[in-house]
Structure 1
Amino acid sequence: MFLRSFNIVLLSFIFILLTTLSETEEIEEDKPKEVIYSNSIRALSELREIENSYLEHLASYVSSLSQKVENLRTFIDSVTGSNLNSKTDPIQYVSNPLNSFGLVRRAHEDWPKFIAYTKIFKNLTVENEELQKLVNRTPSADDMREALLGMHRIEHFYDLKSSDMANGLLAGGQLGTRMTVPDCVALADFMYNQSEFRRSAEWYRLALSALNELQNSTASPFHIPNPDDLRKKFIMSRLQEGSINNLSDYLMELTQDREIPLIHLRPNPTLTAIERGCRGEFPPGPQLVCRYNSTTTPFMRIAPLKEEEISRNPLIWLYHDVIYDSEIAQLTNMTRKEMTQGTTNNYTTSGQVSRLFHVKVTDDDGGKLDKTLVNRMADISGLDVGNSTSLARINYGLGSYFPEHSDYVDIKNHPEFTEEGDRLMTFLFYLTDVPVGGSTIFPAAELAIQPKKGSALFWYNLHNDGEPNPLTRHAVCPMIMGNRWVLVKSMLNYEQMFTKPCYK
């Protein structure tokens, strides 16, 4: 009798457990997956399309309201009334970093506020539900942090004045777009949390100055900060690096023209080689050779390619016009869902793993286009490309960059790669022009190459004896303007044992 009762209790427990697991799985399925938009222009353009839908629903909602319509229209007009209309091509829109940053901040901070504001109208639930669906797809706190990091990199790596950035003047290029007060405050708070106190003070002063210029105050219930709070934060930022004895000086700085940079209260750190390269401070490269390469393979005798010798140590060549517009259109015609989040590599990039870009890797034998491109690499290099394509298509986003790293792994330190060998060489195809920022730089060799659509960079990572060449360590400067698409492939050393020529 006891055993029977025990079995009944046990079966009841199992039933409850299975029911709970089933309900948990349903909840997990219904829960939307986190999306990081900031790390690629393709994903940012999707977010722009979501915002366009959000604005359309919001505009329809506003047209049905009889109260508070001016406050809602102020928000819509602040977005659609800029130089780029809301219906502008999303990729063109988000190629402007100020537009990208404002887009992420609005979607993360402003949209939920408007949902809460509009819920008081119970008779308009349909539009409200559609708006809520769009808000559920907005950037997460992690995505907002990625956007702030991108803007921080742009300012830091290129040593830009905050007042220039706020006015849309980035690295000598005028964007015709200005940052809003909430944009400035968000950056100021982020800089403060990063212990960049002088920069945070400048952004607080900019926000306060822009706030004083605002003529339309109807948006203040939503995202316009309190001027007294901005003044307090400015003083706190200055005191973090300064002294209470100089408080009167800091109060005077608040009244200065925002174009006047704040005095450094701490010594400036020494510039790194990467920062020098991104700012265009490397010496002019050597005047080497430009020629038609017609000798690598028999096919090259029929169709020679334009070859520019960039460096002899390390060995780097730049090939011009080696990928066609039709091929580029096919390679970049992808949605965000077809790509994955790209991060730093523990083997070739030291430090903490970071999100960098969105990437799609082809690990099988690929399609017709992939095979065509791999064969083209064989014609250029004269190497054996094998049967696998292993092409990586990469799209950078708002302020995206790649820290200094090597493409080789150095098998002495990582014997697990002994069987397949180290990465002998790298092909880097540029699929788009990048007007400002986004250079590929080799810090130790003091070389910087600006992406040019249709060209391909080709270099050897190893010496003739198979030892890594540290001069091939490279980085990508933060993106400012444009849409950086690249195609990357590496070839392994052992596969080329009987085909690679020895270079002096």
Structure 2
Amino acid sequence: MRSSKWLLPLMLLTCQVLLHRLVKGEESHCTSVAGMVKLLDLEAQLIDNLADYADELEKKLDIVKRSIASMRLENDRARGSTEEYLSNPLNSFSLIRRMNRDWTIWQLYIDDPVGLTQMEKIQELREHMPTSTDVEEAVTALDRIQSTYGLQVAEIAHGLLDGRQYNVSLTALDTYAMGQILFDQGNYWAAAGWLYQSIVLMEVYTISAPLEVSKTEVRMVYAEALLKLNQNADALKVVNIALADKPHDIKLLLKKSEIETMIRTDTKNQAPKVQQGATEAYKMGCRGQFPPSVDGRLHCRYNSTTSPFLILAPLKMELVGLDPYMVLYHDVLSAAEIKELQGMATPGLKRATVFQAASGRNEVVKTRTSKVTWFPDSYSPLTVRLNARISDMTGFNLYGSEMLQLMNYGLGGHYDKHYDFFNQTNSNITLMSGDRIATVLFYLSDVEQGGATVFPNIQTAVFPQRGSVIMWYNLNDDGKPNTQTLHAACPVIVGSKWVCNKWIREREQIFSRPCLKRRK
């Protein structure tokens, strides 16, 4: 396979970079759109560096071509009248000197590599490039988008995302990488779809050197995926098609013999089970398929009663649900405030973590893909105003509550189904300030497609609206966790989703919510 010669050097470089980044503790690239912006600048540097390499090649090529022209002119003159040419001692001397000295220099010139400076530059920038782990996360993210929203591989490859056509498409190399990595992850159903799409694209488009991949290589991996799915007859068809192009390929002939034996002996692989039946509530919510609420008690109004300040500046409030109590405030943040918040957050964004009760620590998990940063309540005049606004909306005392958390979601960014409450009565995490009585979530951006906040147990979905805020209670009136608050952040299909949230603790609400039982 022509691409195999690059595999070992690529693996070695990837291992070096991954080790370096693990030591430095750097974060992944695809979990935040804001974090990926710098990759475009990095790619621009690499392209400029490659252009410099091309310039050096052109200079060397120009020197070689000009020298060939003059040398050929002299050689043609000599061969046109060989005896006369060589009988002249000056010509003879010059020929001997050229053959002894000049061609030694030319040998050294040819052997002198072009692009060492550019190679060093690439190596210098490599520590900032995505690693194989980043690529695997990106593949998982795209697969998450596909499965959550029920998209077709061919449509995704041609830029049709959930009914909207974009002026973008994937290459055969893109789809092949998807198939390879999904195969390695054991997701054979998804892998087969992407590998087939790669074969389709390779029939239409040619992959230029040095990136070319042989069709035989892709077909072999596709056949392996089909075998994993117990589709032996289809796998044999794929191998036979590959043999039509390379009838004497020993690997293909051996694979054909192996599959034919499997078919004759009815040897079956254990294919992974595919879930059938109705789409789960979470996916229905992400797709906007929840039925509209018919509860006549839900309404919209101007809230001017929660705090004295709202008498002067009431907020537009939409009552979304009663169990749990959930309200949506509209036009809470100005464009200038949103821009300032995003500017504050971008430099400090780090991979989001989740509290794990088993370990008692916050850890990076695959169920939450975004980047976050935290700001103390008194960090700036804006954070002070924001917390005052939260108090106005909720009527709660924010003393002892958690800091403001700003998040940016990246490629397929999501947060799987979870609760915000801890339900850890004797834990250090709730001992001082109690559990999280309420969640306040600001939407700092519209999201072109996807990114809804879904509550599957109550079949409610809230889609991001720039400047709006969703607030809900995580605890019942007796202070016990409300399991109806199960929620998730759906994968972002297209767009950059920015949110800011505040988790309010229960202990300081003893006078504003006296029905709560004080935890011991």
Query: TM-score, length-normalised on structure 1?
Result: 0.75
State the alpha-carbon separation in 1 of the partners of residues 397 and 411 from structure 2: 37
Task: Report which of the two structures shows the higher radius of gyration computed on alpha carbons.
Answer: 2
The number of aligned residues is 416
- The reply on whether 1:169 has 2:160 as its aligned counterpart is yes
- The reply on whether 1:277 has 2:268 as its aligned counterpart is no
Sequence identity percentage: 31
Aligned residue for 1:224, secondary structure, equals coil
- The reply on whether 1:411 has 2:424 as its aligned counterpart is yes
> What does residue 471 of structure 2 align with?
458
Instruction: Find the partner of 2:184 among 186, 190, 193.
Output: 193
The Cα of 1:345 is off from its aligned counterpart by 2.2
Paired residues of 1:235 and 1:250 also in contact (CA < 8 A): yes
**CA deviation digits over 1:315-352, x for unaligned, max 9?**
11110000111111111015755122112221499998
The Cα of 1:400 is off from its aligned counterpart by 1.3
The Cα of 1:388 is off from its aligned counterpart by 6.7
The Cα of 1:246 is off from its aligned counterpart by 5.5
> What does residue 156 of structure 1 align with?
147
Aligned residue for 2:441, secondary structure, equals strand
**CA deviation digits over 1:250-292, x for unaligned, max 9?**
67999xxxxxxxxx99543453322222222322234620111
> What does residue 11 of structure 1 align with?
none
**What is the one-letter code of the residue matched to 1:484?**
K
The Cα of 1:479 is off from its aligned counterpart by 1.1
The Cα of 1:198 is off from its aligned counterpart by 2.5
Instruction: Find the partner of 2:301 among 279, 283, 291.
Output: 291
State the alpha-carbon separation in 1 of the partners of residues 469 and 497 from structure 2: 14
- The reply on whether 1:268 has 2:280 as its aligned counterpart is no
* Alpha-carbon spacing, 1:283–1:129, altered in 2? closer, same or farther (3 Å): same
* Alpha-carbon spacing, 1:335–1:66, altered in 2? closer, same or farther (3 Å): farther
- The reply on whether 1:223 has 2:214 as its aligned counterpart is no
Paired residues of 1:365 and 1:389 also in contact (CA < 8 A): no
State the alpha-carbon separation in 1 of the partners of residues 354 and 304 from structure 2: 37
Structural mapping, 1:87-486, within 5 Å: 122-215=113-206, 217=207, 219-220=208-209, 222-245=210-233, 247=235, 267-270=274-277, 271-286=279-294, 288-334=298-344, 337-347=347-357, 353-354=365-366, 356-363=369-376, 365-386=378-399, 390-412=403-425, 414=427, 417-486=430-499
> What does residue 61 of structure 1 align with?
53
State the alpha-carbon separation in 1 of the partners of residues 20 and 162 from structure 2: 45
The Cα of 1:367 is off from its aligned counterpart by 1.6
> What does residue 257 of structure 2 align with?
none
Paired residues of 1:314 and 1:460 also in contact (CA < 8 A): yes
State the alpha-carbon separation in 2 of the partners of residues 397 and 246 from structure 1: 37
Aligned residue for 2:417, secondary structure, equals strand
Of stretches 278-287 and 456-465 in structure 1, the one that deviates more from structure 2 is 278-287
Aligned residue for 2:57, secondary structure, equals coil
> What does residue 117 of structure 1 align with?
none
Paired residues of 1:296 and 1:380 also in contact (CA < 8 A): yes
Paired residues of 1:426 and 1:489 also in contact (CA < 8 A): yes
**What is the one-letter code of the residue matched to 1:450?**
F
* Alpha-carbon spacing, 1:350–1:239, altered in 2? closer, same or farther (3 Å): farther
State the alpha-carbon separation in 2 of the partners of residues 485 and 453 from structure 1: 9
State the alpha-carbon separation in 2 of the partners of residues 356 and 30 from structure 1: 18
Query: TM-score, length-normalised on structure 2?
Result: 0.73
State the alpha-carbon separation in 2 of the partners of residues 28 and 213 from structure 1: 40
* Alpha-carbon spacing, 1:145–1:243, altered in 2? closer, same or farther (3 Å): closer
The Cα of 1:357 is off from its aligned counterpart by 1.3
State the alpha-carbon separation in 1 of the partners of residues 441 and 450 from structure 2: 17
**CA deviation digits over 1:359-413, x for unaligned, max 9?**
1112463221101000001111111122777100111111111011111111347
State the alpha-carbon separation in 1 of the partners of residues 54 and 223 from structure 2: 40
> What does residue 83 of structure 1 align with?
none
State the alpha-carbon separation in 2 of the partners of residues 28 and 180 from structure 1: 30
State the alpha-carbon separation in 2 of the partners of residues 337 and 367 from structure 1: 16
Paired residues of 1:35 and 1:139 also in contact (CA < 8 A): no
Paired residues of 2:446 and 2:465 also in contact (CA < 8 A): yes
State the alpha-carbon separation in 1 of the partners of residues 431 and 191 from structure 2: 49
* Alpha-carbon spacing, 1:191–1:121, altered in 2? closer, same or farther (3 Å): farther
**CA deviation digits over 1:224-270, x for unaligned, max 9?**
2210121122222112122435656767999xxxxxxxxx9954345
Paired residues of 1:429 and 1:456 also in contact (CA < 8 A): yes
**What is the one-letter code of the residue matched to 1:169?**
L
State the alpha-carbon separation in 2 of the partners of residues 389 and 406 from structure 1: 16
Paired residues of 1:153 and 1:399 also in contact (CA < 8 A): yes
* Alpha-carbon spacing, 1:170–1:498, altered in 2? closer, same or farther (3 Å): same
Structure 1 unmatched runs, 5+: 1-26, 70-119, 255-263
Aligned residue for 1:223, secondary structure, equals coil
**What is the one-letter code of the residue matched to 2:335?**
D
Aligned residue for 2:470, secondary structure, equals strand
Aligned residue for 2:421, secondary structure, equals coil
The Cα of 1:186 is off from its aligned counterpart by 0.8
**What is the one-letter code of the residue matched to 1:490?**
W
Paired residues of 1:441 and 1:477 also in contact (CA < 8 A): yes
Root mean square deviation, CA, Å: 3.2
Structural mapping, 1:67-82, within 5 Å: none
State the alpha-carbon separation in 1 of the partners of residues 354 and 178 from structure 2: 25
Aligned residue for 2:58, secondary structure, equals coil
**What is the one-letter code of the residue matched to 2:171?**
T
- The reply on whether 1:44 has 2:57 as its aligned counterpart is no
**What is the one-letter code of the residue matched to 2:150?**
D
State the alpha-carbon separation in 1 of the partners of residues 60 and 451 from structure 2: 44
